[in-house]
Amino acid sequence: MKVSVCMVGQNQSLLFSRALYCLSKQSMPRDDWELVCVDDSGSEDWEALLEPYRDKINIHYFRLERDEDCTGWRCLPVGMNFAFAQAQGEILMETNAHVMLHPLAVETLYLSHKTDFARKVDGRLWASLRGYTITREDMPYFNEVDWQIDIDNLKKLPRFDNPWTMLWADDGKFYGTHLVCSIPRQLWFDEVAVGEFKGVANRHGPGFPELGLSPYGSDDVWYAGRREELGITNVNVNIKQCPFYHQDHHNHRELINRFNCRSFLNEDGQNAITAPWWGQEYSPSNPDGLWPFPPVPNESYKVDSGELPRLREEFAYMYDLNWARENAPWLAKELEK
């Protein structure tokens, strides 16, 4: 097996169904790669969505139930550690249920580890794709741009040409998150994976630290630092060659500007530890922001309805409706539903 594509997620079945469709169009032959799909305690029937694709994708489906420490896809390290443990591929590739992959994605990342440069660094290479992040406002227009015929038709979305969607398009700037990336399986388990972090042992085997990391997304910071510590070479694939499209997401700068969310990251998304790794000064972007968390949708989009998902009820108390009406009409609309 050449590649194990490891996907972890929960609910949001419409986004997931689009991701599956794109995986079914991959150029790499079916027998050369597998999809290790981990349903992290979701309430929607992912297994039924997978069934029609079994003749096109070599699928291995697993379901994780909630436990007292790590619940749902927001505890990504647990799900990804489980997925990596099941994977049989020479190369471990990460993605998630929000990501729509270009047809060349799996093959491109695999071949990134077979170049003369990869051999020059003795295979100690981490390769990632760059991509475009579709804003929530563009989500209702997907079916108007024939993305099934050509995924790059998503560039025709009405608000596609905006700074957030284009955030990762600059090939001159290193893109370090592990949203769509790959690493040799042996390198991961022999060197990168850890069994404990800050004195807390993983409960689900070696890999990402399962406890001890603070907010969601801090696994990116840990992983980038771990690669730096081990001297692993980072490579980004040119976005014009093979992009991915990430559905429905906000970055910390947009959350600062639109919702006055609290952020202790600098303008490039680095914290006090990681900023020096990239030769940057560290200054928190918005340490006194009003909101501790971004708006988090939990329900799936309704096909062709044009409706946006509501906020998860357990987060609603964090937002003041009067403030939202004045400063964030989009957020007020969500809260008033």
pLDDT score at 209: 87
pLDDT digits (tens, 9 = 90+) for 39-81: 987 778 889 999 999 999 999 999 988 665 554 444 578 889 9
Instruction: Convert the chain into a string of H (helix), E (strand) and C (coil).
Output: CCEEEEEEECCCHHHHHHHHHHHCCCCCCHHHEEEEEEEECCCCCHHHHHHHHCCCCCEEEEEECCCCCCCCCCCHHHHHHHHHHHCCCCEEEEEECCEEECCCHHHHHHHHCCCHHHHHCCCCEEEECCEEECCHHHHHHHHHCCCCCCHHHHHHCCCCCCCCCCCCCCCCCCCCCCCCEEEEHHHHHHHHCECEECCEECCCCCECCCCCCCCCCHHHHHHHHHHHHHCCEEEECCCCCCCEEECCCCCHHHHHHHHCECECCCCCCCCCCCHHHHCCCCCCCECCCCECCCCCECCCCCCCCCCCCCECHHHHHHCCHHHHHHHCHHHHHHHHC
User: Is residue 254 one of the residues assigned to a domain?
Assistant: no
Among residues 252, 248, 260, 247, the alpha carbon closest in space to that of 331 is found at 260
Among residues 2, 243, 238, the alpha carbon closest in space to that of 132 is found at 243
- C-alpha 87/C-alpha 66 separation (Å) is 22
Domain that holds residue 105: 3-249
Q: Are residues 197 and 270 in the same domain?
A: no
Q: What is the length of the chain?
A: 337
Instruction: State the amino acid at position 43 in one-letter form.
Output: S
pLDDT score at 318: 44
- Enter the tokens of residue 262: 């609290």
Residue that finishes a domain, picked among 249, 268, 286: 249
pLDDT tops 70 at residue 275:
no
pLDDT digits (tens, 9 = 90+) for 83-118: 999 999 999 999 988 899 999 999 999 999 999 999
Total structural domains within the chain: 2
pLDDT score at 308: 44
pLDDT tops 70 at residue 119:
yes
Q: Are residues 60 and 178 in the same domain?
A: yes
The torsion angles phi and psi of 285, rounded to 5 degrees, stand at -70, -40
User: Is residue 161 one of the residues assigned to a domain?
Assistant: yes
Q: Are residues 218 and 292 in the same domain?
A: no
Q: Are residues 121 and 158 in the same domain?
A: yes
pLDDT tops 90 at residue 336:
no
Q: Are residues 66 and 116 in the same domain?
A: yes
In the chain, % of residues over pLDDT 70: 72
- Enter the tokens of residue 195: 């069994």
User: Is residue 255 one of the residues assigned to a domain?
Assistant: no
If one counts every other C-beta atom within 10 angstroms of the C-beta of residue 149, the result is 8
pLDDT score at 295: 42
Tell me which range, 64-73, 128-137, 166-175, is most confidently predicted by mean pLDDT: 128-137
pLDDT tops 60 at residue 293:
no
Place of tokens 């790590």: 70
- C-alpha 154/C-alpha 11 separation (Å) is 23
pLDDT score at 311: 47
User: Is residue 289 one of the residues assigned to a domain?
Assistant: yes
Q: Are residues 187 and 265 in the same domain?
A: no
pLDDT tops 90 at residue 123:
yes
Give the CATH number, domain containing residue 106.
3.90.550.10
Question: Per-residue pLDDT averaged across 196-207, rounded?
Answer: 84
Q: Are residues 181 and 284 in the same domain?
A: no
- C-alpha 8/C-alpha 104 separation (Å) is 21
Among residues 202, 269, 265, 298, the alpha carbon closest in space to that of 10 is found at 298
User: Is residue 278 one of the residues assigned to a domain?
Assistant: yes
- C-alpha 31/C-alpha 2 separation (Å) is 9
